[in-house]
Amino acid sequence: MNSTNQFDFKKLAIIMAGGTGARLWPKSTEKKSKQFIHLIGEGTMIQNTVARLIPFFSLDEIYIVAADSYSELLYEQIPALSKDNLIFEPYGKNTAPCLALSLTQLSGKISNDTIVYAFPADHVIYNVREFQNSLNIAGYLALHQKCIATIGIHPTRPETGFGYVQVDEEPGDLGDMFEHGVRHTKTFAEKPDEETAQRFIDSGDFLWNSGIFTLRVDAFWEAFEKYMPEHDQLFKVLKKFVGKDMYPEAVQDVYRQILSESVDYAILEKAKNVYVVEASFGWSDVGNWDELYRLSMKDGRNNVIEGEVIAIDTSNCLISSYDRIIGTVGVENLIIIDSGDSLLICRKGNSSSVKEIVDFMRRKHISKF
């Protein structure tokens, strides 16, 4: 298997843009969530995601799935993408229904041996060449093994904000694929506490779960039917409405009946034909303000400053102003984010708990912010 040259197989990319990014409030809101804002790099998160896929996929092979409410943002931010390549959900139901809806809607355009790559819309990736090399290996694997291939990242620290996947370091029946970083999976683990994360790192056989996965269309539907049979029946009925006037109403009806389920939990953790491609490109899901601070360039006092900020005797802080001056004196280890109509002040290390503010506002119906 040659991992440097792109293999010739039918493929498409599905960018899943349904997240709310609650831990990045107040910049990420329900009206304009994480994937549609600029956090790091040249463009918004979703613009950067599309840009790094272009060398591997043509524009007509890239599809974006998002909630109906984000349609105008998508037209505005990704104008080069045809409207036929935008798939809209009534509302988010996590990644398993997102992928099922996408493949149902595209059923008339794709064959069972088409290789589907699923990408979150809001990740940061460095070393794009290595990234594309990993995609190539995963596509070859999914095609020839009729399997689901995930991409695992070698961890660099005991991170508590990422999921993990344990791999088998014995070659088994993998042959030369083992030399290209392909591994059998053992277990998937949700975001661990710090002690557990350290234990994962020390064991040497855990990778970060990137949330990127590759599969053949028929392999997905076989797994979907086996592990999500009730949902599968609903999507089989929905397929009959594709291209008809009743289709939008049928989608609404299906989404009212299904549960919110991730592909990881519903399928990957249960299926036997799941492999991992070990990768070494730089990766982060930028899940909270602490992670953004870690990724960003610091000044001489380890501050990350954006906008009009006067920082006196201030160190180890992330401070972002919107349209007013922020002044700090004698503080350290703080996150201060001004979005214009909302202000967050948080101690560094606690930003995963910012979601609790959003949850509180939802309970109190404070929808404006």
* Neighbour-count burial of 165, counting CB atoms closer than 10 A to its CB (0-12 exposed, 13-18 middle, 19+ buried): buried
CATH of the domain at 22: 3.90.550.10
Count: domains in the chain: 2
Residues 68 and 111 in one domain: yes
Q: How far apart, in whole angstroms, are the C-alpha atoms of residue 185 and residue 176?
A: 17
What digits encode the pLDDT tens for the residues 55-68? Answer: 899 999 999 999 98
Q: Is residue 3 part of a domain?
A: no
Same domain as 334, residue 200 = no
Q: How does pLDDT run across 233-290, given as a tens digit for each residue?
A: 999 999 999 999 999 999 999 999 999 999 988 999 898 889 999 998 999 989 899 9
**149 forms bridges with which residues in the sheet?**
214, 275
Query: Residues with Cβ < 8 Å from 200, sequence gap 6 or more?
Result: 155, 158, 164, 166, 189, 192, 206
Specify if 130 maps to a domain: yes
Last-in-domain residue among 246, 261, 287: 287
Whether the CB-CB separation of 133 and 4 falls below 8 Å is answered with yes
Q: In terms of domains, do 215 and 330 share one?
A: no
pTM for the model stands at 0.92
pLDDT of residue 3: 45
Same domain, 20 and 122: yes
User: How is the beta sheet containing 343-347 ordered, strand by strand?
Assistant: 304-306, 318-320, 334-338, 343-347
Residues 93 and 139 in one domain: yes
Low-confidence residues of the chain, pLDDT below 50? 3-5
Domain contains 328: yes
Asked whether residue 1 is assigned to any structural domain, the reply reads no
CA-only gyration radius of the chain, Å: 21
Do residues 152 and 23 both lie within one domain?
yes
**Residues 172 and 81 placed together within one structural domain of the fold:** yes
Give the residue from 243, 260, 287 where a domain finishes. 287
Structure tokens at 269: 């953790």
> Do 310 and 252 reside in the same domain of the chain?
no
Task: Check residue 174 and give its pLDDT.
Answer: 82
Residue 91 is assigned to a structural domain of this protein: yes
Cα 288–chain centre separation: 13
Would residue 6 count as lying in a domain? Answer: no
**Whether residue 251 sits in one domain with residue 355:** no
Q: Report yes or no on 2 lying in a domain.
A: no
Residue 211 forms part of a structural domain: yes
Tell me: do 248 and 353 sit in the same domain: no
Same domain, 18 and 70: yes
Mark which of 253, 287, 321 sits at the end of a domain: 287
The predicted pLDDT at position 231 comes to 96
Same-domain check for residues 270 and 341: no
Q: Which domain holds residue 40?
A: 11-287
Neighbours of 248 (CB within 10 A): 13
